[in-house]
Amino acid sequence: MNTTELRVDTSRRRVADLTSEVAGWCQGRGDGLLNVLAPHATAGLALMETGSGSEPDLEQLLDRLLPRDHRYHHQHGSPGHGADHLLPVLVSPSLTLPVSGGRLQLGTWQSLVLVDLNADNPSRRVRLSFLAG
């Protein structure tokens, strides 16, 4: 199994497109399964179209589903931070993708994104684990 860890700066974006970086790392690795893991308790990974307006749509959806108010038992950090801790239950931080001939197998309109609503910690890691087959 081959592994690496990416660094992602989320200080200026809540939805960060990782597609080209991840696809680049897969090049030359042949066939196998790639696991992508964000080892954080307030971030998730998703496959979605980027660049056509869905990023702000996603932020609004998450604000509706996970309002940043005082309802939460989890009360560390900024007000509403309890919402951030529920994000990874709805948007899992683990995602597995097929790789064929060193090419990450995504659809034409699919991008791999890190979703991170938590403004308190802008320095994120993403772990890639490739199992050849």
Stretch that binds a second copy, among 6-14, 18-26, 35-43 (CB under 8 A): 35-43
Both structure tokens of 100: 């064929």
The minimum distance between CB 113 and a second copy, in angstroms, equals: 9
Considering the rule CB under 8 A, would residue 47 count as an interface residue with a second copy? yes
Nearest to 6 by CA among 112, 77, 109: 112
The minimum distance between CB 114 and a second copy, in angstroms, equals: 12
10 and 126 in contact (C-beta within 8 Å)? Answer: no
Half-sphere exposure of residue 109: CA atoms within 13 angstroms, side-chain side: 5
The rounded distance, in Å, linking the Cα atoms of 40 and 44 is 8
29 and 132 in contact (C-beta within 8 Å)? Answer: yes
Q: Give the footprint of a second copy on residues 61-100 (CB under 8 A).
A: 61, 65-66, 71-76, 82, 85-86, 88-98, 100
The minimum distance between CB 104 and a second copy, in angstroms, equals: 11
115 and 15 in contact (C-beta within 8 Å)? Answer: yes
Q: Which residues bind a second copy (CB under 8 A)?
A: 1, 3, 31-33, 35, 37-41, 46-49, 52-54, 56-58, 60-61, 65-66, 71-76, 82, 85-86, 88-98, 100, 105-110, 115, 127, 129, 131-133
